[in-house]
Amino acid sequence: MSSSAPIVLLLHGPNLNLLGSREPEVYGTATLADHVATATATAAELGLTVEDLHDALAAFDGPIVELHLSNPNAREPWRHTSVVAPVATGTIVGFGGTGYDLAIRAAAAAMAG
C-alpha cells in the first residue's frame, strides 16, 4: 500500500480493551485487536490506511463516524445521549463487529464526496 493513501483515524472509547471478555452477550467475543484488524482489512480493500489512535476529536477536519457495537438506544437511558453525535457525520449502532467494516466504508464514501 502506498504511503500516500488517505488515512482513517480509528479512535476508541473507554474500556474497549475488555472486549472479548466484558459482557460477551452484548459486545461479542471478538477483541479490540480483532475489530482493528477488520477495519484495517476493509481500509486496505478501499485504498485507505488505518491509524489506530486513542486521541480526542477536537481538531479533526474530516468525516467522523461514530460506532457502537451494541445499540445504546436499546439499553439504559443514560446511554442514549452521545457526546460524539453533535460532531459526527453519521452513526452506526448495533451491528456488533460488522460495524467496523460499515464504518470504514461510510468514512470512505464521505471522503469521496
Closest CA to 67 of 95, 28, 109, 108: 95
Q: What is the C-alpha to C-alpha distance for residues 74 and 59, in angstroms, rounded to an integer?
A: 31
> Is 100 one of the annotated active-site residues of the chain?
no
Catalytic hit among 12, 35, 68, 80:
68
> Is 80 one of the annotated active-site residues of the chain?
no
Catalytic hit among 12, 27, 54, 100:
27
Q: What is the C-alpha to C-alpha distance for residues 15 and 24, in angstroms, rounded to an integer?
A: 13
Cell numbers linked to 84: 460524539
Active site residues: 27, 68
